[in-house]
């Protein structure tokens, strides 16, 4: 708790500030305590929290209900009129996603938000984007502004420019080119490398700032379990509902075997993940952009290496293509990778820095492998085996691990929520398969 109190005091005494505490250190709670203190003492009246869609409810709303139960909270999401109603309400804390700002920018400007908190602030590192410009117009000289990210300027020293320009513009030159020349060496027309002292320039630009690492926060649990929401896209929702309706028709008045229940639930999981296998073996891909963005967000917020467990083969290829397109170095471990190749990849992952992410089919590396170079696990989708789930998590939680660990569970559909709950409670999924199946098809809403 000490680090959280220090963070809260720091934020409450700095109208413009950066919080660079690592993921899993409780910085959300610290920011809520600080904001609540400012409201209580009449320094501010309302707070706008800008964050990824995936943590609007699972992190911010949940923590607000826990740490500021006496405050009114609104989630500004959905159609414009719904967002506007929340912004125009008397909610003291309003949570909105990045891209929602542009939809209701005028309404935000017309309301008194004295404090803006930006979580995972790297989304605002580029000053030329519409997202950055829209938010910048809403920030007044008297606005309190806290930017939070565990990985400031992780990809390039120039990433610091957009963050500083938004929060403390006097800390950086007026133009990006001037800042780039102060932090980077121009080797050719398209190639720049960081100067040896660029870290000092970045440090000075991103002040005042506070940072705690997971290892410094000794009062935190050794393994932190968190959940991230990745809403199904309209295309996914359509086919999820079609499949549920078909399941309901088949189940009407008939006994369903465990095998059939497992097959149908797997289809729902496949739709949630982005690719379904037809009865004749063909693959049907879905728009799964929401989930892919959440995976990228978590990876970018992780200071160290990451394991991503993905149950379905074709979804692995889809994710690999997406991450490599985002310039995130990754490798794949699945049943098709020969044993000697797996050994070589595991060794590189543990001993070298050329792989940031391992995308793993859980059954292919759930036992006996040490991957302590990672301290974050992402479950792209749940598995239906408790043993596989626990053994996969144990890849990082074993001798040689030096860091506190975070396990992130991504969910977008009811069946995933139920499965994760069963896995967390260590319930035998297979013995509960029929009940899970009946609960899923009995719901009218997805």
Give, as one character, the DSSP assignment of residue 443: -
Say whether 223-231+288-430 and 2-216 share the same fold.
yes
Cβ contact 158:180 at 8 Å:
yes
* pLDDT value at 395 more than 60: yes
Q: Which of 138-152, 179-193, 258-272, 277-291 has the highest mean pLDDT?
A: 138-152
- Dump pLDDT digits (tens) for 197-208: 999 999 999 999
* pLDDT value at 249 more than 60: no
- What is the pLDDT averaged over residues 198-224? 85
pLDDT at 398: 79
Give this prediction's pTM.
Answer: 0.74
d(CA 169, CA 307): 37
- Dump pLDDT digits (tens) for 86-106: 999 999 999 999 999 999 999
Domain ranges of the chain: 2-216, 223-231+288-430, 235-285
Tokens matching residue 182: 């102060």
Q: Taking each helix axis as running N to C, give the angle between helix 313-325 and helix 289-301, from 0 to 180 degrees, rounded to the nearest 10.
A: 60
d(CA 105, CA 102): 5
Sheet of 374-379, strand order: 223-229, 405-411, 374-379, 305-309, 357-360, 330-333
Query: Architecture of 223-231+288-430 per CATH?
Result: 3-Layer(aba) Sandwich (3.40)
The candidate with the shortest Cα–Cα distance to 380, out of 309, 286, 274, is 309
* pLDDT value at 146 more than 50: yes
Strand partners, 9: none
Residues 6+ apart with CB under 8 A from 147: 17, 18, 19, 118, 121, 124, 163, 166, 167
pLDDT band at 3 (very low <50, low <70, confident <90, very high): confident
Query: What is the b/e burial string over 352-374, where b = at least 16 CB atoms within 10 angstroms of the residue's CB?
Result: eeebbbbbbbbbbbbeebebbbb
Cite the DSSP H helix spans in 97-158: 100-103, 105-110, 130-138
pLDDT at 103: 96
**Regarding beta strands 283-285 and 275-277, do their DSSP bridges make them parallel or antiparallel, or are they unpaired?**
antiparallel
CATH of domain 2-216: 3.40.50.10810
Q: Cα dist. 410→102, 273, 379, 414 in Å?
A: 26, 10, 6, 12
């Amino acid at each position: 708790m000490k680090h959280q109190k220090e963070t809260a005091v720091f934020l409450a005494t700095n109208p413009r500030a950066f919080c660079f505490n690592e993921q899993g250190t409780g910085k959300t709670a610290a920011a809520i305590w600080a904001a609540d203190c400012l409201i209580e003492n009449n320094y501010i009246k309302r707070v706008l929290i800008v964050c990824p869609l995936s943590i609007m409810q699972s992190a911010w709303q949940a923590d607000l209900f826990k740490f500021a139960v006496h405050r009114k909270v609104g989630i500004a999401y959905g159609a414009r009129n719904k967002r506007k109603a929340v912004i125009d309400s008397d909610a003291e804390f309003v949570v909105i996603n990045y891209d929602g700002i542009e939809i209701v920018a005028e309404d935000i400007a017309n309301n008194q938000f004295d404090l803006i908190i930006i979580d995972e602030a790297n989304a605002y590192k580029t000053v030329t984007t519409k997202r950055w410009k829209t938010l910048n117009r809403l920030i007044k000289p008297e606005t309190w502004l806290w930017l939070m990210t565990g990985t400031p300027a992780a990809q390039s020293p120039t990433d610091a420019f957009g963050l500083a320009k938004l929060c403390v513009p006097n800390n950086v030159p007026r133009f990006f080119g001037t800042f780039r020349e102060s932090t980077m060496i121009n080797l050719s027309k398209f190639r720049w490398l960081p100067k040896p002292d660029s870290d000092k320039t970045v440090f000075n630009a991103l002040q005042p700032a506070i940072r705690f690492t997971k290892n410094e926060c000794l009062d935190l649990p050794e393994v932190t379990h968190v959940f991230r929401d990745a809403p199904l896209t309209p295309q996914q929702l359509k086919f999820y509902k079609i499949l549920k309706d078909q399941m309901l028709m088949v189940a009407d008045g008939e006994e369903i075997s465990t095998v059939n229940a497992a097959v149908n639930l797997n289809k729902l999981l496949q739709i949630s993940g982005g690719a379904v296998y037809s009865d004749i073996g063909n693959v049907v891909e879905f728009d799964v952009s929401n989930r892919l963005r959440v995976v990228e967000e978590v990876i970018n917020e992780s200071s160290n290496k990451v394991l991503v467990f993905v149950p379905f083969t074709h979804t692995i290829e889809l994710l690999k293509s997406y991450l490599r397109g985002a310039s995130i170095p990754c490798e794949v471990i699945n049943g098709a990778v020969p044993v000697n190749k797996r050994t070589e990849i595991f060794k590189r992952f543990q001993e070298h820095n050329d792989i940031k992410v391992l995308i793993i089919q859980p059954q292919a590396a759930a036992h006996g492998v040490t991957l302590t170079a990672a301290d974050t696990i992402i479950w792209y989708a749940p598995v239906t085996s408790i043993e596989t789930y626990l053994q996969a998590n144990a890849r990082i939680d074993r001798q040689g691990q030096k860091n506190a660990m975070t396990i992130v569970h991504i969910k977008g559909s009811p069946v995933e929520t139920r499965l994760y709950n069963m896995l967390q409670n260590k319930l035998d999924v297979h013995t509960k398969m029929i009940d899970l199946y009946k609960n899923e098809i009995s719901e009218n809403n997805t």
